[in-house]
Structure formats: structure tokens, C-alpha cells
Structure 1
Amino acid sequence: MDLLLFFLAESWHVFRQAAPFLLFGFFIAGLLKALVPADLLVRHFGGRGVVSVLKGALLGAPLPLCSCGVLPAAMGLRRQGAGPGATTAFMIATPETGVDSLAVTYAMIDPLMTVLRPVSAVLTATVAGLAANLLPERYIPAIAPIAEAEAAGCATGCCSGGCDAPAHAGSASPLGMSARLRGGLGHAFGEMLSDVGLWLVVGVFAAGAISAFVPPAFFLDALGGEFTSMLAMLVVGVPMYVCASSSTPIAASLLLKGLSPGAALVFLLVGPATNATTITVMARTFGTVLTGVYVGAIVVCSLVFGYLANRIYTALGLDIHAVLGVVTEALPAWLELASSALLLLLIARALLHSRHGHAACAHEPRPADLAAPGGLR
């Protein structure tokens, strides 16, 4: 019972630290959704040039989508003419970082990791995109029709766009600024939060378990080697599903147990961008060769940037273990408590709304059913 209470107390402490910055991150995400035109990404992703790859990486970096949540978006981009390199770069940069995860990284780790994380994500996405552009056309299958692509994306269980998402996607009616802001914030604290909210809670409990049950300096004793610890993070991170926000408290807890900053960066890059479901759907939709380039670039680049991160911390004389959580401790307790309560309510609301939306979808006739002979009228 004492261990259980200690585990719950550690989990609550992690959640309190992250809540104010998560709310801020989702607020910024809502502004991006409201202010960035929906067709902007598609217009700039065409072709196989270096510029389109850089655009895919840079424009995808601030968007807070998980690795399977980004699949339907990437399929839509590819179907509308985006090149394989730009699509690959977008698929890597988007889940590896985002405004919400950067806010939590600053809160729970330190400012230097807050810079290294997006820079490494963008460079990894660029390397993967350029490698994808070098593939011959015969290794890049044509994208599936939109109905099949949507089914493949939603088969992962991570998308919660709702029944009427496709119907509104092509709407060209202009909206006022207030309506766009309401829509953007509603999307951030609704659909987006329902995508990552449950996994965020799972990540918080995982971080609490690490804090409560893993012995101090475990990684210094058991995985003291630099590359040994980074390889261990690869083995854990590649098949595991964890979004960018929920991976941050886990990485912070691992750092407190002696994990090196480079190994933590490996987990922060690999965990959000890969998981068994994403790899399976990618192989079926984009082909096994392009999927191999995707996974291979993430693995190699994460090891390289993890090694460089350790060198940077050493050269600057910084001890990441000494500054963990310093930023958050400056926040008043009432703000942490109020943010935690508000975030819990928003997560519960988003998950309930998502469940009702899926139930309504299950009873709504599909267009194919309506068009079939003898179908509904």
C-alpha cells in the first residue's frame, strides 16, 4: 500500500509539473490551426526538390500530431501531389516535436534539450526526405484511393476526426477570424486532445512508476555505457506507442535515474515517430522500401544526435541532472493545481466526445451504402 501511494504521489507530481505547459502548448496549437490555411502544406510539398523536403520538415515540426494521427494527413498530402521526400519529412518532423511537447520539455528537462529536440527532429526529417527522393519510382507505389487511405489511418485507433470530417474538408466558405479561432481552439482541446490525452495519462503513470520503482542511478549501474544506453532506448522506443508530449515526462524520470542526455534524446526522437502500428500501415500504404528508409533514418540519426548531445552537454559543462524541473518549481502551486484540474476535465471531455462521435459514426450510413442498389434514400 505504501508503494502504491508513493507511485500515485509521484504520478500526480509529474502531472502537476506538466499541466500548465501542456495547456499553453495546446493553446498555441489551436492558434496554428486557426491561422495557417489548410491548403498551405499541399501547395508547398510538390516535387522532389530539396526545398520541398525542407518545407515538409519545417512546417510539420510545430504541429502536435502523434505518429499514427499524422498518417491520414500524410496520405492526403501524398494523394494531392506531395513528393515522397516531403511526405516522409512531414511524417517524421510532425510526431517527433510540436509546440505542446516543447513547452513540456522546457518545463520538465531544461532549455538546452528544448532546443536540441526540434533541431534534431527537423534534421532527421530532412535526411529521411532526401533519402526518399533518391529512391527510384518503382519502389514508391501510388497512394491508395482516399477511401482506403482514410480507412487505413483510422484503423490505427488514433484518429478521431468524426463522421463529418471529410464533408467539411472541401468546404471553401470563408470564415471570420473569431469563428476560425473558435474552430482552431475547439480542434486543439477537442479532437487533438482526444488523440493524445489517454496516452498522455499513460505516459504520466509510466513516469510515476519509474520514479517510484526504479532504483536511483539505475542507468549508471546497469547501462553505464554511452551506446549501450542509447541502444536500449532504441529497443524500447521503436515498437512503443508514445506521443511527443507523453514521452517527455518518461524521459525526465529516466534522466533522474541516471540516463544520459543523449540516450534521453534518442527516446524522445524514436518513441513518438515509430510504433508497430505506424510501421505496419506505412508498409502497406507507402511500400516496404520507403518504410525502411523512414525507420532507418530515424534510428541512425537518433544515435548520431544522441552522441552529439552528450558532447554538447560535456563541452558546455552542463549537468542535466542538476537542473531537472527547475523551471517548473518557479510556478506557483495554485497555478499548477488549477491547470491540472482544468487539463483533467478537458481530457475527460475530449475522450467522452470522441467515444460518442465513434458511436454515431457506427450508425451513420456510408456514401457507398447510399449509392448501392436498394440502399437507403
Structure 2
Amino acid sequence: MEKELVYFCRHFWMVLRDIAPFWALGIAAGSFVSVFAKERINALFARISDGPLAIFAASALGIASPLCMYGTAPLAASFSGKGMDDGVLASFMMSSVLLNPQLMIYTAALGMETLAARTVSVFVCGAAAGFLVKRCFGGRGFFNFKGFGSAENRDTDPNMTMRLLKNIGRNIRATGPSFLAGVALTAALIRLIPSRAIAGAFGESGFGVAAAAVAGVPLYFCGGGTIPLLAEWMSRGMGLGPAVAFMLTGPATKLTNLGALKTVLGAAHFALYIAFSMIFALAAGYAAAFLI
């Protein structure tokens, strides 16, 4: 038992040492964007007009937005009330669910190729969602924002330095426990699961992509928490395609996101959202596996 504890502590420290700098940098970058760039991003979103380019722009702004889904939904509700097309809103919300500046820096720990594949797939996913909503629903009637007011703004300290430090503190409290839990889980799995099992389950194959897409649903509990797990899996044989599929289905079906989405979509449209998320994750995973 004592020997196993020593192994666990050793692997915990090794994983923490490799991943923690990216987590800390992601915290700082996410808070900086939230404090100094959030209003500018919102202003750019307000200037988006209807049309194909608007959907692409909305997907890019969704990636740049630091808001969680419970902040994105009220923002989208306010623009919906001003007549913004549901296709544009769907593009913004879809990409915002899947990625943000903080998570992009976390993903850099997995390598630039993985970061590029994740960013491009999320951008395309957001745009595809927007075009589908516009095509199938005429740009109106897909969302029901009734009951959503303005999102609470907690970055109100008049001193900008204190405002940034408070945001960093909230960010650490929000992501720290999940990050440490992810490191602990990774350290335990290093000892328990042989490398050949990871390569066999999540290798660069059709089965590996499908298995990773399904695994992303129950195992994705926080972006910062899953990066150590993915880093270890990829070092032991997980392919890029399965990793992309996991990183799409995970945040798309994260419980804290699903609560807000179920409210604004309703049962029928919520089912369409789940189906679209799974199908796109599989398609993106296969594309990354066999085309890159």
C-alpha cells in the first residue's frame, strides 16, 4: 500500500509539473480577456448583421468570448430581443459552449497540432450550426429566451488591477478543484491502465474515434481537469482524431452547459442539439484521424 502511494504521489507531481504552467497561463489569459476585452467582444457581436459572413464572424467571436453558457445565454437573449437572426445566435452559442481563450491555452499543453485541430473544428462546428438553424428554421423560432435577463457583471471594482485580481481569484476557485481532480485521476490511471489498452481503445481508427466521442460524455467534467487526462492518453497512443472527438462531445454535453441549453431550446430542439453535437464530433474526429 505504501509503495502504491509513493507511485501515485510521484506520478501526481510529474503530471502537475507538466500541465500546471498551462493552467496558470490560461487562468491569467482568461481573466485578462474577461476584464479588458469582454465589452469589446460584446460590441463587435452587436454590430454583426445578417448574412453568411455574419455566421462565420459569430462563430469566431464565440471562441473569443470568455463567458460560460450561463453568461452567453442572457447575452444572446438580449440580441434576440433586438431582432438578431437565430442562425447567427446559434453559431455564437455553439462555439462559445465548446471553446474559449482560457481553454485554448490549456489545449496548447497537448501540442500546437491538437490546438489547431480543436480550434478549426470548433469554428466549423459553430458555423455549421448557424447555417443549419438558418436553413431549417428561417432564422427565427429556434430559441426561447423567455425568462433570461441580463447576465450579472461581477467585474465592477473601480481599480482595474483589483478587478483583474478578483477575476483571477474567482477563476482559480472555479477551475482549481477540477484541475487537481483531473491530475489525481490521471496519476491513478497511469498506474492502473497499461499503455496498450489506451492505444487499443483510442487509437487512430474508426473505432477509436467513436469510443472517444462516447467517452467524452461522462468523463468531461471541466476543461482544465481533462487536459491532464488527454495529455497522458495521447502520450500513450491516443490519436488526434479520437482526441478531437472527445474535446467536442465533452463540453457539448457538460451538465452545467446542458441546463442552460435545455431551457432556451426546449425538448425537441435540445434533442436536435445533442444529435448534431455527436454527429459533428464523429465527423471532425474522422477528418482529423484520416486527413491530417
What TM-score range do you get, normalising by the shorter chain? 0.7 to 0.9
1:179-238 per-position Cα deviation (integer Å, ceiling 9, x unaligned): 345424431x12233332222222222222222211122133456571212111122212
Q: Match for residue 30 of structure 2?
A: 29
Q: Match for residue 221 of structure 2?
A: 242
Whichever residue aligns with residue 96 of structure 1, its letter is L
SS of residue in 2 equivalent to 1:217: helix
Shift of 1:122: 0.9
Checking the alignment, whether the CA contact within 8 Å between 2:212 and 2:245 is kept in structure 1 is yes
Q: Which runs of 5+ in 2 are unaligned?
A: none
Q: Match for residue 87 of structure 2?
A: 85
Shift of 1:262: 0.7
Shift of 1:136: 2.6
Q: Match for residue 261 of structure 2?
A: 282
Q: Match for residue 56 of structure 1?
A: 58
Q: Which runs of 5+ in 1 are unaligned?
A: 151-164, 314-377
Q: Match for residue 40 of structure 1?
A: 43
Alpha-carbon distance between aligned partners in 1 of 2:232 and 2:251, rounded to the nearest angstrom: 17
Shift of 1:15: 1.6
Q: Match for residue 70 of structure 2?
A: 71
Instruction: State the structure with bigger RCO (CA 8 A, min sep 6), 1 or 2.
Output: 1
Q: Taking every aligned residue pair, what percent have the same amino acid on both sides?
A: 22
Q: Match for residue 185 of structure 2?
A: 206
1:120-169 per-position Cα deviation (integer Å, ceiling 9, x unaligned): 1111111112212233378525312236x97xxxxxxxxxxxxxx46x78
Q: Match for residue 186 of structure 1?
A: 166
More helix by proportion, 1 or 2?
2
Shift of 1:264: 1.2
Alpha-carbon distance between aligned partners in 1 of 2:244 and 2:53, rounded to the nearest angstrom: 27
Root-mean-square deviation over aligned CA pairs: 3.0
Alpha-carbon distance between aligned partners in 1 of 2:236 and 2:207, rounded to the nearest angstrom: 15
1:339-358 per-position Cα deviation (integer Å, ceiling 9, x unaligned): xxxxxxxxxxxxxxxxxxxx
Alpha-carbon distance between aligned partners in 2 of 1:37 and 1:17, rounded to the nearest angstrom: 30
Checking the alignment, whether the CA contact within 8 Å between 1:230 and 1:263 is kept in structure 2 is yes
Could you tell me which of 86, 104, 107 is aligned with 1:105? 107
Checking the alignment, whether the CA contact within 8 Å between 2:106 and 2:224 is kept in structure 1 is yes
Alignment of 1:215-230 (within 5 A): 215-222=194-201, 226-230=205-209
Q: 1:120 to 1:221 in 2, by over 3 A?
A: closer
Q: 1:191 to 1:92 in 2, by over 3 A?
A: farther
Q: Match for residue 351 of structure 1?
A: none
**So what's the TM-score if we normalise by structure 2?**
0.83
Matched, 1:142 2:144: yes
Structure number with bigger Rg: 1
Matched, 1:295 2:268: no
Q: Match for residue 260 of structure 1?
A: 239
